[in-house]
Chain A
Amino acid sequence: MAEQVVRPAGAGHEALFVALACAVIVALAAAVIGARQTPAQRIEVAAHQLDARDDLLAAEQGLYADLRLVPGELADFGDRPPAVTELAEALLPPFVADVGTAWRGDHAWTLIEHGAASAYLGLSAAPEVAGSMLLRLSGPADAGEADIWLNRSPSASPPARLDTEYLVHGGWQQVVTHFDAGATRHRH
């Protein structure tokens, strides 16, 4: 009995077209993804600065968040920066002596004033948990806005001056932060 193999018309072509279509779709998808990709933006900070998000320990991040609120609260205390005890009585962290203080480095807080400049200094009893911190309220012309500094040295001591150059030379690092809108938002 004679057999004749009848191949579907254009079978080879169909397979080729399907393969080509797949390749085109994959290439297009890759091109679109590649075109829309944005590099992860890293905020670079200066050598004397620390990024609050990436460079601080957990306890330091908590203290930093608390300290940032302090300058806005000082209006209730008159013209001069209040003593630490007054801030504690107003329940302002991190000046309140509670476990929130004890477990985050057990800082000893004092108000230091040098001329027109003043700052709240918290010397850490446990630098491995959280370094010593300095909330500089005002200072020489280079200081600008209130800011927060960190020194992880176990031998950190009260700075004799509060200008930026002196603090940097003394091993203090300015803590900075930045805002990032939600990753799936368009208007940043």
Chain B
Amino acid sequence: MPDALPSFPRRRMLAGLALACALPARVFAAVPKRDKPLRIGVTLHPYYSYVANIVGDLAEVVPVIPAGFNPHAYEPRAEDIKRIGTLDVMVVNGVGHDDFAERMIAASEKPNLPVIESNADVPLLAATGLAGRAGSGTVVNPHTFLSVTASIAQVNTIARELGRFDPANAAAYQANARAFARRLRQLRADALAELAGVPNAEFRVATIHGAYDYLLREFGIEVTAVVEPSHGIEPSPAQLKGTIDRLRGLDVKVIFSEMDFPSAYVDTIRREAGVQLYPLTHISYGEYEIDKFERETARNLATVVRAIREAAQ
């Protein structure tokens, strides 16, 4: 049976902390006392930002995929698998964007490396594209890291779980997570405030990549069509024609494209379907930086706001 709200204490975090203090010693008995900072592996850029903001300088965050690799087409390399042997714990997306991590861990010197499932408490949406249309109820959209709300849920989960591995710093992790969440909420509030007075245009949007459902739900926008037939797969000419016909038929005026992984066929869609193109970032490319998630989320929010304002004119 599914859970209603499995991870939330009923009322008070203080009560939860008191309970945690009162837990039997055996719960933490397996956790050795650390004489050096925790080494935490991450697979994707947003998770680097999440964990770096949570731990500050109390632990080390280690990207498993080198900067510059496209996570959609990443094939594990021997040196990356070797690096896993130096980790204490790995933080994963776990719902489809870094499934390679599990196989890398299995092949590493630490096949039993603990894994933190960031999305354990996120209400997951169904996959888009072919996987979604196939009606398989367990294939989910893995792009939870592109939304503010789902990111806060993941940050809360990661902070809580890291506290179990590193009890001495658990309170600091929680405090940092809360401060980070407040900054993320401010980003969202600032973006939505810019839309004050804009009428609900109920305009239809499409996306090239099936990545932005979580983000657009925060604005109350539903994605009408996704161009890619499957995650990271370019459409064939026949599929492209079908998409253009569908966009025309559905009166789609706005299409959110992909900033980091541009494709030539996107211009064809813009020209033939007469839609306005707005590029969003997948936050999965470039250097790993602590402020990357906030910076690029602010840019995505600003792009959505601009699209809504221009569509309402």
Residues of A within 8 A of B (CB): 40-43, 45-46, 49, 51-54, 58-59, 61-62, 64-66, 68-69, 71-72, 74-75, 79, 91-93, 96, 98-100, 102-104, 129, 137-138, 144-148, 174-187
Q: How many A-B residue pairs have CB under 8 A?
A: 173
Question: Contact at A182–B5, with CB atoms within 8 Å?
Answer: no
A45 CB to nearest B CB, Å = 7
Residues of B within 8 A of A (CB): 1-6, 8-14, 93-99, 102, 117, 119-126, 131, 135-140, 142, 147, 149-150, 152-153, 156, 182, 185-186, 188-189, 192-193, 195-196, 198, 200, 214, 217-222
B95 CB to nearest A CB, Å = 5
Given the known interface contacts A59-B220, A69-B149, the answer about A52 and B123 at a Cβ–Cβ threshold of 8 Å is yes
Given the known interface contacts A91-B185, A146-B10, the answer about A40 and B149 at a Cβ–Cβ threshold of 8 Å is no
Question: Contact at A53–B137, with CB atoms within 8 Å?
Answer: yes
Interface residues of chain A: helix, strand, loop or mixed (majority): loop
A53, A104, A178: the one within 8 Å of B3 (CB): A178
Question: Contact at B137–A65, with CB atoms within 8 Å?
Answer: no
Given the known interface contacts A40-B138, A91-B186, A98-B196, the answer about A177 and B14 at a Cβ–Cβ threshold of 8 Å is no
State A176–B9 Cα separation when bound (angstroms): 16
Question: Contact at B121–A180, with CB atoms within 8 Å?
Answer: no
Question: Contact at B220–A176, with CB atoms within 8 Å?
Answer: no
| Chain A residues in 8 Å Cβ range of B2 | 43, 45, 49, 51, 176-178
| Chain A residues in 8 Å Cβ range of B96 | 182-184
Question: Contact at A92–B120, with CB atoms within 8 Å?
Answer: no
A126 CB to nearest B CB, Å = 9
Question: Contact at B125–A61, with CB atoms within 8 Å?
Answer: yes
State A118–B170 Cα separation when bound (angstroms): 30
Question: Contact at B219–A100, with CB atoms within 8 Å?
Answer: yes
B117, B123, B185, B195: the one within 8 Å of A92 (CB): B185
Query: A130: nearest residue on chain B (CB-CB)?
Result: B220
Question: Contact at B4–A144, with CB atoms within 8 Å?
Answer: yes
Question: Would you give 20 A-B contacts (Cβ < 8 Å), ordered by A?
Answer: A41-B137, A58-B222, A61-B125, A68-B8, A69-B149, A71-B10, A96-B192, A98-B189, A98-B192, A98-B193, A99-B198, A100-B218, A103-B221, A137-B10, A146-B5, A177-B123, A177-B124, A178-B2, A180-B124, A184-B99
* Closest A-B pairs by Cβ, 4 of them: A75-B13, A103-B220, A62-B217, A58-B222
State A71–B139 Cα separation when bound (angstroms): 28
State A72–B188 Cα separation when bound (angstroms): 19
A51, A74, A185: the one within 8 Å of B94 (CB): A185
* Further 20 A-B residue pairs, CB within 8 A, beyond A45-B1, A103-B220, A145-B10: A51-B2, A53-B137, A58-B220, A58-B221, A62-B220, A64-B123, A66-B218, A71-B11, A75-B13, A93-B188, A100-B192, A103-B219, A138-B11, A146-B10, A147-B5, A176-B3, A177-B123, A178-B2, A180-B139, A185-B102
